[in-house]
Structure 1
């Protein structure tokens, strides 16, 4: 089976036909520009989870409440989802984005930064923390991580790191928090997914927006990063807004 078929199958099974993949990220290469793309989305079943939107501040993407008076517990819902350092681009589904950025600036590593964190403390789901780093220098490299509750003792965290080969233009590698809907929600399992990134930045945003479950999708963003000078641009779409 070729890469295009695998990517489309993953897109259909894990995203289009999956009512609740939860939060998700994809990092890969544009098919039409000399650029990289980072896709990130959030989903929500509760009123509090849906009371959010993406906000762009320069090169940073963050979540913010639409109505602060209705935000029950912001600790796992409000965070910086995308941050940049020189030649380094970060994305995650929680405040570990800031942990990674701060420790990288202090001279530590991606793995060491995440060694200080655990899966989310939201029993009984114990939502995985998914994170990714794109480095452009000295040569492009992608690192992904998922921190999950141990299936036999959820007080413990299983840690998985992946360093896939650079994907071909038009493809990316991704993780989601959940395998599907359920109670409790089943954590994502297996290797990162090969997924399509065909078309322009706007096309990719539209493709993922229309693929994800309309009832549960909250916000989606696509960051495009120039492979020439490292400059970036973020596009977002919010289902709910003030």
Structure 2
């Protein structure tokens, strides 16, 4: 909504916080890509409680300009098991992105925690042409 009103990615996220699902207060993860003239950049954000306290929202944004082909980043919600669950910490993780959407989709799906995975959306975009391929995996289908 904020970006429709010409606000930046970061400004738009000011109207959001982590999920109000105490005691975990699940972090909210967002991302955006900008593609123009055969180049692209992207940004990722995580909004999380301050060490499990719902009284404060910590906001982190990571921007990647002219990223290398075959490389990507991801932020996961929690860093490990616990009670309450501890939020992800640090910079987004660098990952290899193969030139095969089906192989990448299979790798991601098989890497998710079996007890908690529900669905997965993967999209490959050809930066030069703008064409894209999409895969959706749902454990209930």
Query: Structure 1: which 5+ residue stretches go unaligned?
Result: 1-101
Q: TM-score, normalised by structure 1?
A: 0.54
> Could you tell me how far apart the structure 2 residues matched to 1:228 and 1:158 are?
36
> Could you tell me how far apart the structure 1 residues matched to 2:99 and 2:130 are?
20
After superposition, residues 114-125 of structure 1 pair within 5 angstroms as 114-125=13-24
Could you tell me which residue of structure 2 aligns to residue 157 of structure 1?
57
> Could you tell me how far apart the structure 2 residues matched to 1:145 and 1:213 are?
22
> Could you tell me how far apart the structure 2 residues matched to 1:137 and 1:103 are?
21
> Could you tell me how far apart the structure 2 residues matched to 1:188 and 1:215 are?
19
**Mapped pair 1:175 → 2:75:** yes
Could you tell me which residue of structure 2 aligns to residue 141 of structure 1?
41
Alpha-carbon deviations, 1:104-123, whole Å to 9, x = none?
A: 22211101100111111111
Q: Give the structure with the larger helix fraction.
A: 1
> Could you tell me how far apart the structure 2 residues matched to 1:219 and 1:209 are?
8
Query: Structure 2: which 5+ residue stretches go unaligned?
Result: none
Give 1:194 deviation, angstroms.
Answer: 0.2
Q: Which moved more, 1:113-122 or 1:167-176?
A: 167-176
Instruction: Specify which of 191, 207, 216 is matched with residue 91 of structure 2.
Output: 191
Alpha-carbon deviations, 1:103-151, whole Å to 9, x = none?
A: 2222111011001111111110011111111101264111111101012
> Could you tell me how far apart the structure 2 residues matched to 1:166 and 1:209 are?
27
After superposition, residues 108-119 of structure 1 pair within 5 angstroms as 108-119=7-18
User: Which fold has the larger relative contact order, with Cα–Cα distance below 8 Å and residues 6 or more apart in sequence?
Assistant: 1
